[in-house]
């Protein structure tokens, strides 16, 4: 019987050590995995969290044609959801070929890739699959640089990746990954990247475009084509080569694609300062925050988040009309800005006499003051620094909307305060849909919104159509009614309206003439005919017209001595073109969740507030100002069959207004400085000359655009009781009579109209 050979003791010892080490390592590995699963190194996502992954998705705003206007997001939240079916195969092929060529073969962990990484000590990467990268991005936080922590992180990625593969299809994993991944420039997700770099939807990306974006995934900042085009080109071509190697494209096609230059000429990042209608989107943000607080997300059980729930907000804003509105402001405003800049009291600084408190407040609220105060500078030293010239960029009416200059910080404050501002709003008067919203001259430099319902300015003669409507509706006035054109005394208020008598103004004028030429004495006469409670009745009538702000019932209200917003005035004016029906301007049609489910619709709000015949009579009378009166020739220049409009100018030209409408479209303009003591001088600095050009420039562009469907021949519906030969023009004086807007100056201060024991912050209107 043969005897077994005994292994040398030395070999036996090494074998024993090997197996002890192997099983010890295996046990340690199992123990480590157990500890990870138990949460000893941080909580793993639950099954519910895995099955319902929550990406931080930006909420997106859309125009009336479905085009994107902008987003609301926080840092790392600038992403918009896209379904797998809406992603180009070029993107999928580029991603799989570059990041995980065996993606369709493994179950979350690529064994071959792991072994390769181990043998090469991680020099060619860590063997992470797309699923593991998704696990890291969604559930594991930033990649750790500590070797032990990174090892733990890697094991957690494996566990999560396996669970993801069990719960999702390969297509769903790819969609999740592409919705989450970063593309630099604070852009996340393939839809955001596609729109930002190419102004395209992901479904329309070509091979070279897809390769460029996928190439950024590895190192978004380094491979950013905007900041590092050479590195981006090399990386793009590497991705194209990988696509050819994996037979997604031919070698010949790859060679052609690699010859293409990188073209990101359409790069446009939507943020709060750019994109269309920034003032509108900023106003909308406040409205949506309120909506979110009042509506619960059924998935989270908490109120919706505007910045992370991926809401889709569809609005009424028309991109082309918004473009024309912005262009109209840019065309008209620099003309009058130049006039203001050349006024003697502006050039020599006299306009600031008596208003140094405004400058002091502006200095103390500035970032410069805060920084210098933190640096322990004294008040005297800080004041001195505001008088030292420095190089800076300031707003300018040029293509870039800024210029380089040298001026003192104090002069820059004056410069910005001396800029004429505007508010311009366009809407459909029948439906109430807001079509364009320009809250100021430049959102980057001037955030204050002059269209917003909370921004109130004195309205001047733009209020007179409501006064005339009340006269027709309740007191049987007609366009032919003769009105005394003299100063009126209101004993109940111990006030004269207008405040100062004009010896040139006398006799009588038809009501149509009074409106066309905006004669204050006629408006005062009409108010006087309402009786002792006339001011109160007129204030109630304004509320009846759906103007929300409660105004003070003084006789000077007939001249517009009250403060209302442009939004409110536009709301009120809808009664004229829409046959007495008041329609609130609205701007949201519906809100959807990230999956496209409608959460709420927003129907228009209509209310009949004025007799149809009265509305039509006013509409025809309001053609007087744009044919013969204070905005003479406007209708003819635009080639319109019918339209209506009214100018308004307040005391010392602080506020200039023009509101007008056609049967299809309505728009309103306000122009002035935020500081009311800064104003245009001269008789022509009125609503018809200052505000009307913005309105006219917009309508010239809009009417010429056949895609908007605006008909120059459109006419207002005529009530049956009105004869076809109705002609208001024979009731209007063809030349400016004494007291006409822009002819005579000054009507005093509103306080002159009030009783001794009453105070008011509101000035009277000049016109």
Query: What are 674-686's pLDDT values in tens digits?
Result: 999 999 987 788 9
The pLDDT score that the predictor gives to residue 760 is 32
CATH code of residue 488: 3.40.710.10
Same domain, 28 and 89: no
Is pLDDT of 37 > 70?
no
Calculate the average pLDDT of the chain: 87
**Does some domain include residue 760?**
no
Q: Confidence class of residue 92 from pLDDT cuts 50, 70 and 90?
A: very high
Instruction: Answer whether residue 465 shows pLDDT above 90.
Output: yes
**CB-based contacts of 197-205 (< 8 A; 24+ apart in sequence):** 197/225, 197/226, 197/264, 197/266, 197/267, 198/264, 198/266, 199/266, 199/268, 201/86, 202/82, 202/86, 202/87, 202/88, 202/91, 202/178, 203/86, 203/87, 203/88, 204/88, 205/88, 205/90, 205/91
Mean pLDDT of the 373-381 span = 93
- Residue 713 maps to a domain: no
- In a shared domain, residues 568 and 478: yes
Q: Is the pLDDT of residue 12 over 60?
A: yes
Average pLDDT rounded to a whole number, residues 12-39: 66
Report yes or no on 763 lying in a domain: no
Is 104 in the same domain as 19? no
pLDDT at 54: 67
Does some domain include residue 16?
yes
pLDDT tens for 471-483 read 999 999 999 999 9
> Cβ distance 488 to 547 under 8 Å?
no
Q: Are residues 32 and 104 in the same domain?
A: no
| Number of domains making up the chain | 4
Percent of the chain with pLDDT over 70: 84
- Asked if residue 487 lies in contact with residue 465, where contact means CB atoms within 8 angstroms, the answer is no
Is pLDDT above 80 for 47?
A: no
Q: Of the residues 417, 440, 472, which one is the last residue of a structural domain?
A: 417
Residue 244 lies in a domain: yes
Nearest CA among 89, 177, 88 for reference residue 128: 177
Query: What pLDDT band is residue 125 in, cutting at 50, 70 and 90?
Result: low
User: 751 Cβ partners below 8 Å, 6+ apart?
Assistant: 759, 760
Mean pLDDT of 359-366: 95
The pLDDT tens digits of the residues spanning 616-672 come to 999 999 999 999 999 999 999 999 999 999 999 998 899 999 999 999 999 999 999
Asked whether the beta carbons of 141 and 180 are under 8 A apart, the reply is no
Report, as an integer, the average pLDDT of 575-589: 98
Output the pLDDT for position 49.
63
19 with 104, same domain: the answer is: no
Same domain, 396 and 464: no
Q: What is the mean pLDDT of residues 308-314?
A: 95
CATH number at residue 152: 1.10.3810.10
If you ran DSSP here, which 8-state letter would residue 451 be given? S
In the predicted model, is pLDDT for residue 77 greater than 90?
A: no
Final residue in a domain of this structure, among 217, 238, 269: 269
pLDDT tens digits, one per residue of 511-565: 999 999 999 999 999 999 999 999 999 999 999 999 999 999 999 999 999 999 9
Shared domain check, 39 and 82:
no
Lookup: tokens for 495: 């006030």
pLDDT digit string (tens) for 705-745? 999 999 999 999 998 877 654 566 666 777 778 777 765 44
* pLDDT (0 to 100) of residue 186: 80
349, part of any domain: yes
Q: Please indicate, yes or no, whether residues 612 and 666 belong to a single structural domain of this protein.
A: yes
Residue 765, domain member (yes or no): no
Q: Which domain holds residue 255?
A: 78-269
Q: Are residues 130 and 231 in the same domain?
A: yes
The CA-CA-CA angle for residues 318, 322, 328, to 5°, reads 145
Looking at 69-78, 91-100, 244-253, 568-577, which range is the least confident one? 69-78
- The reply to whether 16 and 96 lie within a common domain is no
Whether 228 contacts 212, CB under 8 Å:
no
Residue 437: inside a domain: no
pLDDT band at residue 766 using 50, 70 and 90 as cut-offs: very low
Which residue bears the tokens 């001037």? 446
Q: Are residues 477 and 557 in the same domain?
A: yes
Measuring CA to CA, which residue among 490, 575, 477 is closest to residue 526? 477
Q: Show the beta-strand stretches assigned E in 42-172.
A: 59-62, 68-72
Boundary (domain end) residue, out of 252, 269, 286:
269
Decide if 635 contacts 661 (C-beta within 8 A): no
Q: Are residues 391 and 524 in the same domain?
A: no
């Amino acid at each position: 019987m043969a005897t077994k050979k005994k292994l040398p003791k030395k070999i036996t010892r090494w074998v024993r050590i090997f197996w002890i080490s192997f099983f010890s390592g295996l046990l340690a590995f199992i123990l480590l995995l157990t500890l990870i699963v138990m949460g000893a190194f941080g909580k793993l996502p639950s099954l519910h969290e895995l099955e319902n992954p929550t990406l931080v998705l930006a909420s997106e705003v859309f125009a009336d044609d479905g085009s994107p206007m902008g987003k609301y997001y926080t840092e790392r939240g600038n992403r918009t959801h896209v379904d797998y079916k809406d992603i180009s195969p070029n993107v999928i092929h580029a991603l799989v070929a570059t990041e995980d060529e065996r993606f369709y073969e493994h179950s979350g962990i690529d064994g071959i890739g792991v072994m390769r990484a181990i043998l090469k000590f991680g020099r060619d990467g860590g063997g992470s699959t797309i699923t593991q990268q998704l696990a890291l991005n969604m559930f594991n936080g930033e990649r750790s640089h500590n070797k032990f922590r990174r090892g733990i992180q890697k094991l957690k990625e494996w566990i999560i990746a396996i669970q993801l593969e069990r719960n999702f299809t390969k297509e769903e994993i790819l969609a999740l990954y592409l919705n989450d991944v970063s593309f630099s420039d604070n852009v996340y997700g393939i839809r955001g990247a596609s729109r930002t770099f190419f102004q395209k939807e992901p479904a329309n990306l070509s091979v070279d475009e897809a390769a460029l974006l996928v190439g950024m995934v590895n190192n978004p900042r380094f491979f950013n084509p905007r900041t590092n085009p050479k590195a981006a080109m090399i990386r793009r071509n590497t991705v194209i080569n990988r696509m050819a190697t994996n037979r997604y494209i031919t070698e010949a096609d790859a060679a052609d694609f690699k010859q293409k230059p990188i073209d990101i000429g359409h790069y446009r990042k939507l943020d709060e300062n750019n994109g269309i209608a920034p003032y509108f989107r900023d106003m909308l943000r406040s409205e949506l925050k309120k909506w979110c607080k009042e509506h619960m997300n059924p998935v989270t059980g908490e109120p919706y988040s505007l910045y992370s729930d991926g809401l889709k907000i569809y609005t009424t804003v028309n991109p082309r009309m918004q473009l024309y509105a912005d262009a109209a402001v840019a065309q008209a405003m620099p003309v009058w800005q130049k006039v203001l800049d050349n006024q003697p009291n502006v050039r020599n600084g006299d306009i600031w006499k008596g208003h140094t408190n405004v400058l002091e407040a502006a200095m103390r609220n500035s970032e410069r003051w805060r920084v210098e105060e933190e640096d322990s500078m004294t008040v005297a030293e800080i004041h001195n620094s505001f008088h030292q010239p420095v190089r800076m960029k300031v707003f300018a009416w040029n293509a870039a909307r800024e210029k380089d200059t040298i001026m003192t910080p104090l002069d820059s404050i004056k410069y910005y305060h001396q800029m004429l501002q505007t508010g311009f709003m366009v809407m459909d008067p029948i439906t109430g849909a807001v079509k364009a919203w320009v809250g100021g001259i430049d959102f980057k430099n001037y955030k204050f919104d002059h269209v917003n319902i909370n921004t109130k300015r004195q309205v001047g003669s733009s209020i007179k159509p409501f006064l005339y409507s009340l006269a027709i509706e309740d007191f049987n006035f007609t366009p032919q009614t003769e009105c005394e054109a003299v100063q009126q005394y209101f004993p109940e208020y111990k006030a004269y309206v207008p405040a100062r008598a004009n010896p040139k103004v006398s006799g009588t004028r038809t009501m149509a003439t009074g409106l066309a030429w905006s004669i204050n004495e006629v408006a005062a006469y009409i108010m006087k005919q309402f009786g002792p409670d006339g001011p109160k009745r007129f204030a109630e009538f304004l509320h009846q017209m759906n103007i929300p702000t409660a105004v003070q019932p003084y006789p000077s209200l007939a001249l517009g001595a009250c403060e209302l917003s442009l939004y409110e005035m536009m709301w009120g004016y809808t009664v004229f073109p829409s046959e007495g029906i008041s329609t609130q301007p609205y701007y949201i049609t519906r809100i959807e969740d990230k999956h496209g489910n409608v959460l709420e619709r927003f129907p228009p709000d209509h209310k009949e507030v004025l007799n149809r015949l009265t509305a039509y009579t006013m509409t025809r009378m309001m053609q007087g100002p744009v044919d013969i009166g204070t905005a003479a020739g406007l209708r003819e220049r635009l080639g319109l069959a019918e339209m209506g409009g009214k100018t308004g100018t307040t005391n010392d030209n602080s506020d200039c207004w023009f509101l007008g409408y056609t049967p299809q479209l309505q728009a309103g303009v306000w122009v002035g400085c935020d500081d009311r003591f800064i104003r245009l001088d001269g008789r022509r600095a009125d609503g018809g000359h200052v505000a009307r050009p913005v309105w006219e420039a917009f309508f010239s562009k809009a009417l010429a655009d056949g895609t908007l469907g605006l008909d120059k021949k459109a006419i207002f519906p005529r009530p049956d009781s009105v004869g076809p030969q109705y002609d208001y023009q024979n009731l209007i004086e063809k030349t400016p009579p004494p007291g006409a807007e822009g002819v005579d100056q000054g009507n005093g201060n509103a306080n002159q109209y009030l009783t001794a024991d009453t105070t008011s912050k509101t000035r009277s209107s000049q016109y």
